[in-house]
Amino acid sequence: MKIEVTKDWCIRMARLEVETGADMGIGGAPAVANPDAVALDPSSGSMPETNIAFGRFVRLMRRKRRQTVESLAEDAEIDVAELVEIEEDNHHRPEPRTVYQLAKHFDLPTPSLMQLAGLSAAKNASFYAEAIRFAARSETVEDLNDIERAALEAFVSVLNDRK
């Protein structure tokens, strides 16, 4: 498709861009939190148990599906480096977009996973109690054992109950 654009038009519009200091990004997900989410102060150390639970949860869900870190990152359309940080670093604060993609991939309600990831506050304390219980039961070993599988399935049902 041939498009006729004059030099004058291009330069006038370019000068407008310079004058306004414009940025033109469109689409995708920005690196900002969900405006509906209740922001937590990362410096306050709030909800460390949910951070541990979130990393373990993602790891167990991946292993249950017999996926590598790379293949989960590819399927969920997320950055592999961040996935490694989520699984390995309990203090890592994940990107909202990453949590959104993981929720979509695991077919779970996004608000529940946002809460587990520490990006928004849960409405009641029982959620944190469930997260702590899950984190305590789910040690990271090579294969999912029966206890881990039961803990994972119980916690998935808790997340789904919060739809």
Partner 1 sequence: MSIETSPVFLLEVATDQPIEADLLDGIAEQQLVHWEDEWMPVLRDVVARMKAAGIERSKWPQSLHWDWRQKAQGFERALANPGFCVMCQGMTQGMMFLDLLHKARIASQAGKELVYIEYLENAPWNRRHIAGDQVRFAGVGSILVRAAIELSREEGFKGRIGLHSLPQSNPWYANTCGMTDLGADPDYPHQLRYFEMTPEQAEAFLAKGNTS
Site residues for partner 1, 93-152, by CB under 8 A, read 95-97, 100
Residues whose CB falls within 8 Å of the CB of residue 118, separated by 6 or more in sequence, listed in order: 40, 46, 47, 50, 51, 54, 93
d(CA 76, CA 96): 13
Residue 44 as a binder of partner 1 (CB under 8 A): the answer is no
The interface mask with partner 1, positions 51-80, x = CB under 8 A, is --------------------------xxx-
Residue 45, interface with partner 1 (CB under 8 A)?
no
18 near partner 1 (CB under 8 A): yes
Rounded least distance, CB 56 to partner 1, Å: 24
CB of 61 to partner 1, least distance (A): 20
**If binding is defined by CB under 8 A, does position 14 make contact with partner 1?**
yes
In three state form, how does the secondary structure of 1-22 look? CCCCCCHHHHHHHHHHHHHHCC
The number of angstroms, rounded, from the C-alpha of 86 to the middle of its chain's C-alpha atoms is: 9
